[in-house]
């Protein structure tokens, strides 16, 4: 599904240039649950922005479902984000005085999907994200933090994306609630075959994924599969 090769990203130019990524390469297969982990300033957020087609690399290639998105223009990238990628952020980004069901239906309204089909798909996504039907007509400001994040997960799933990108999704949650949300991602991966990439700076959060790619100083320094240990990358 994902293949990035020798990706670099430089911000600024001349004396003020900063190289956030220095030649990152990895592949992620369909149906994997991968954590990209690293401290602040490591390059993990830049990697996430490139994977999510929110930014373009300075050099290198990025193939998503066999298409080279590293050279696409803004309009083409917007189409990829709309059709192939679901985002879950640390801040939930829901409309507070709008019902749960309508919050999840919104991307489908923008996509021009009919009302009956919108409701069917939103209901399926909410149930897959582990939210009870008794909450569907509640407004999002009437829910707990964990319930709100599950609504955000459902909204990310509603367009049936190839890839779900979760950027520090438990950052605003207490530990117990965070565990419930991480369990939702595990269930989506194990039972529904969703490809999930989780961005985090916390090792205990990353352990919920089946594979951990660690980034430091703009380089991949290790790539560990829980079933099979892969040799660490060595900095040049």
Domains defined along the chain, listed by start: 28-49+85-229 (3.40.50.300)
For residue 97, the model assigns a pLDDT of 87
For residue 32, the model assigns a pLDDT of 95
Element (DSSP H or E) covering residue 47: helix 44-51
For residue 233, the model assigns a pLDDT of 47
Which SS3 state, helix, strand or coil, does residue 200 take? strand
For residue 232, the model assigns a pLDDT of 46
Low-confidence ranges of the chain (pLDDT < 70): 227-236
Burial class (CB in 10 A: 0-12, 13-18, 19+), 106: middle
Cα distance between residue 167 and residue 165, in whole Å: 6
Strand order in the sheet with 67-68: 18-28, 2-11, 59-64, 67-68
For residue 96, the model assigns a pLDDT of 85
The model's pTM is 0.87
For residue 234, the model assigns a pLDDT of 45
For residue 90, the model assigns a pLDDT of 81
For residue 227, the model assigns a pLDDT of 61
Cα distance between residue 43 and residue 9, in whole Å: 9
């Amino acid at each position: 599904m994902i293949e990035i090769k020798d990706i670099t990203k430089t911000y600024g130019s001349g004396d003020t240039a900063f190289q956030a990524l220095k030649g990152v390469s990895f592949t992620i297969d369909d149906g994997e649950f991968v954590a990209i982990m690293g401290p602040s300033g490591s390059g993990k957020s830049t990697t996430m922005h490139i994977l999510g087609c929110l930014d373009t690399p300075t050099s290198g290639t990025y193939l998503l479902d066999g298409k080279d998105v590293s050279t696409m223009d803004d309009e083409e990238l917007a189409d990829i984000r709309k059709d192939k990628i679901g985002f879950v952020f640390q801040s939930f980004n829901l409309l507070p005085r709008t019902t749960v069901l309508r919050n999840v239906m919104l991307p489908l309204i923008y996509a021009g999907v009919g009302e009956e089909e919108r409701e069917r798909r939103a209901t399926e996504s909410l149930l897959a994200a582990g939210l009870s039907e008794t909450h569907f007509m509640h407004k999002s400001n009437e829910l707990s933090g964990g319930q709100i994040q599950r609504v955000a997960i459902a909204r990310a799933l509603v367009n049936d994306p190839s890839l779900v990108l979760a950027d520090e999704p438990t950052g605003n949650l207490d530990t117990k609630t965070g565990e419930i949300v991480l369990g939702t991602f595990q269930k989506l991966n194990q039972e529904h075959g969703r490809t999930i990439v989780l961005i985090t700076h916390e090792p205990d959060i990353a352990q919920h994924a089946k594979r951990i790619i660690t980034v430091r100083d703009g380089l991949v320094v290790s790539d560990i599969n829980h079933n099979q240990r892969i040799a660490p990358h060595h900095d040049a």
